[in-house]
Chains A and B, each alone.
Chain A
Amino acid sequence: MAVLIAASSVAILTTVGIVLSLIFESIQFFRQIPFTDFVFGLHWSPQTAIREDQVGASGAFGAIPLLAGTLLISAIALCVSGPVGLMAAIYLGEYASRRFRATVKPILEALAGIPTVVYGFFAAIVVAPLLRNSGEAIGLEVSSESALAAGLVMGIMTIPFVSSISDDAITAVPESLKEAALGLGSTRSEAIRNVILPAALPGIAGGLLLAASRVIGETMIVVMAAGLAAKLTLNPFEAVTTVTVQIVTLLTGDQEFDSPKTLAAFALGLMLFVVTLALNVTALRIVKAYREQYD
């Protein structure tokens, strides 16, 4: 029995381990770089003095451009996976024949099982050049590492996730409401749009928040398809960088563990952890409150 309890506490230990290691290293980081500079700084350019006698580190560790890049790409991804995932769930749940649903649903689930490195490869080799060439054809300046390429592919990767959660939310709406709407002479789309979707909205919103959390924490697709340029922009055709890309870049080089560059990665990791945790907790709270409404 004690063994069982010990096994169960590994989960707590892991969380504690994550939180402690992130906080510990981040504190080391904030000893060298002021907290306000990091959180409010608009300039990200992590160089450190190579020789001790170099006058002043020329590095800047302002995280705002990273946040902006992350948000831009995540927003694009959600704009794809939100509507597409929801509409796919509606078709499969409401209009599709049983055979269609039984065949197609597993295929769409397969999208969720593909390793993200494959998506990243596809984004870099196919989607990004395609967007750049199409952009050129119509006179638009599209970077070869555009936020749009990474965002699109991330969106498609999250479609099964959003679809599955939306399906759950829609199914949770009592059948009697749908019957009432149909009994009054609604068409199926009217019943869905006017009655079912508004009723399922909290569940769907929770699902979108969870998808946002996924997308913000995603690494490989952005590492392979998005850039390293820390820019503050809303233009999806430009190259931006994200928090996760910078964590990878900062840590896959040859430097001392204690250097500000390495420690910055932990500070970024802490930020990432806090944000995704907040999103997850909010999402679960919304879904829970919504489920209680119908039980």
Chain B
Amino acid sequence: MTEISETQSRVAARLARRHAGEKRFKLLSLGAVWVGLVFLGVLLFTVIGSGHTAFLQTKILLNVTLEETDLGEAGEGGQAQAIAGANYNGVIKRTLRAVFPEARSRSDKRALYRLVSVGAAYEIREAMMEHENPVGTPVAVWVTASDDVDLIIKGTVPRTAPADQRHLSDQQMNWIESLEKTETVKARFNTTFFTSGDSREPELAGVLGGAMGSLYAILVCLAISFPLGVMSAVYLECFAPKNRLTEFIEVNINNLAAVPSIVFGLLGLAIFLNAFMLPRSAPLVGGMVLSLLTLPTIIIAGRAAIKSVPPSVREAALALGASPVQAVFHHVLPLAMPGILTGTIIGTAGALGETAPLLMIGMVAFIVDVPTSVVDPSTVLPVQIFLWSDIPEKAFVERTSAAILVLLSFVCLLNLFAVYLRKRFETRW
């Protein structure tokens, strides 16, 4: 008995310390979970905080009157061609001088013209061409303001900031304030961001070029990797004999899944661009590289989905007289399809965010035009983000964040769709 009570007293002596250790351990592990959650929160907060202002674009309302003297040559297109070829640079300068006649000296005038974007002239041209009879009548046009004005109006740069951050003189600030008083300068929804390609001017830059490039590349990627992936998965899971070759294929697939993506880019550069002489920077090549990246994912997900279909389904089909191929394609595959699609969508979401391999095949150039086919030179959305992130101009910083928000929404939507698919079609055998 005394042996037991001695043991018990020693046990009791340590208990408090051990329970304290237990509590510490539990808190520490909870802290680890929180590290991840907090980081995610901060990341989203930062991106949304710095990017949401990019969805607004400051515009200035100008009443523009096109004079006969501004028109260009009539030629074959008649009046329309004359309007199209008019001297809009002169028109815009005249209009601005009319609003602020106090700008006399050359430097004052230059400062005045810098309130609007270089694209403003084109915007006026567009408005005039759409108008029925623009010559002589004042037309109201909201033109894009320059990026410096834009940042001030949206409050990204404080009005009291020193000159080197504000890039606007006091005189220019006065002009802006008088425009505000007459409500002719406003921050409105930034449609340009979603309808234009890249530009040197931040106020004219948009993600459409990158988005379309991504779309084409992903379409090419899926067109290649989905059929190949499903067929490989079917073969490996249903028909392949258990020999060294099959094992070798499986080992290869598992290894490819873990190869760094940049290596796939090198492959694309050496073989697709150099050996096959395919056009550089085209979504076609990008898609081909991405398809090699996503192939292992689809194969692995496909095999898991096919494996989860009970063998009784295949056996029943065979018993009814179906050939092995028919049994698989008519019976097993449709049942495995939700799982395969889920894996494909997740793989696509990953491919959408890939940047490094596409840098390798040249999608790193400055391209203004929105691609209209898979062989037009283009960039993809993540590369666009990468290119913009290097530009120190504040206006590009907010656009980079906004582009990130666009990319994240696509990735998030794809993943949510995959989860929805999985839940909806999940059958427990």
The reply to whether A and B meet directly (CB within 8 Å) is yes
A8-B231, A84-B35, A118-B47 as given contacts; A1 in contact with B325, CB under 8 Å: yes
A188-B22, A266-B266 as given contacts; A11 in contact with B47, CB under 8 Å: no
Within 8 A of B (CB), among A210-248: 210, 213-214, 216-220, 223-224, 244, 247-248
> Could you mark each residue 219-252 of chain B with 1 if its beta carbon is under 8 Å from any beta carbon of chain A, else 0?
0000000011001101110011000000011001
* B295 contact set on A, CB distance < 8 A: 10-11, 14
Is residue B353 within 8 Å, beta carbon to beta carbon, of the partner chain?
yes
Shortest distance between the CB of B426 and any CB in chain A (Å): 15
Instruction: Determine the distance from Cα of A51 to Cα of B383 in the docked complex, in whole angstroms.
Output: 33
Shortest distance between the CB of A194 and any CB in chain B (Å): 12
* B240 contact set on A, CB distance < 8 A: 8
**Choice from A4, A21, A85 contacting B266 with Cβ under 8 Å:** A21
Question: Looking across the interface, which residue of chain A has its beta carbon closest to that of B31?
Answer: A87
Question: Looking across the interface, which residue of chain A has its beta carbon closest to that of B401?
Answer: A121
Chain B residues with a Cβ under 8 A of chain A: 11, 18-19, 21-22, 25-26, 28-33, 35-37, 39-40, 42-43, 46-47, 50, 227-228, 231-232, 234-236, 239-240, 248-249, 252-256, 258-264, 266-267, 269-271, 274, 292, 295-296, 299, 325, 349-350, 352-356, 359-360, 364, 382-383, 385-386, 389, 397, 400-401, 404, 407-408, 411-412, 415
> Could you mark each residue 253-283 of chain A with 1 if its beta carbon is under 8 Å from any beta carbon of chain B, else 0?
0000100000001100100110011001100
Q: Is the CB–CB distance between B259 and A277 below 8 Å?
A: yes
> Could you mark each residue 153-194 of chain A with 1 if its beta carbon is under 8 Å from any beta carbon of chain B, else 0?
000100110000000000000000000000001011110110
Most buried by B among A15, A116, A124, A218: A15
* B389 contact set on A, CB distance < 8 A: 117, 120-121, 124-125, 224
**Choice from B35, B43, B271, B325 contacting A17 with Cβ under 8 Å:** B271
Q: Is the CB–CB distance between B262 and A272 below 8 Å?
A: yes
Shortest distance between the CB of B371 and any CB in chain A (Å): 20
A108-B33, A189-B22 as given contacts; A217 in contact with B252, CB under 8 Å: no
Q: Is the CB–CB distance between A91 and B355 below 8 Å?
A: no
* B46 contact set on A, CB distance < 8 A: 122, 125-126
Question: Looking across the interface, which residue of chain A has its beta carbon closest to that of B231?
Answer: A7
Chain A residues with a Cβ under 8 A of chain B: 1, 3-5, 7-12, 14-15, 17-18, 21-22, 24-25, 83-88, 90-92, 94-96, 104, 107-108, 110-111, 113-122, 124-126, 156, 159-160, 185, 187-190, 192-193, 210, 213-214, 216-220, 223-224, 244, 247-248, 251-252, 257, 265-266, 269, 272-273, 276-277, 280-281, 284
Question: Looking across the interface, which residue of chain A has its beta carbon closest to that of B43?
Answer: A122
Instruction: Determine the distance from Cα of A3 to Cα of B352 in the docked complex, in whole angstroms.
Output: 28
Question: Looking across the interface, which residue of chain B has its beta carbon closest to that of A91?
Answer: B29
Q: Is the CB–CB distance between B258 and A213 below 8 Å?
A: yes
* B412 contact set on A, CB distance < 8 A: 113
* A88 contact set on B, CB distance < 8 A: 29, 32-33, 35-36
Question: Looking across the interface, which residue of chain A has its beta carbon closest to that of B230?
Answer: A7
Shortest distance between the CB of A58 and any CB in chain B (Å): 26
Q: Is the CB–CB distance between A118 and B33 below 8 Å?
A: no
* A120 contact set on B, CB distance < 8 A: 386, 389
Q: Is the CB–CB distance between A95 and B26 below 8 Å?
A: yes
Question: Looking across the interface, which residue of chain B has its beta carbon closest to that of A109?
Answer: B415
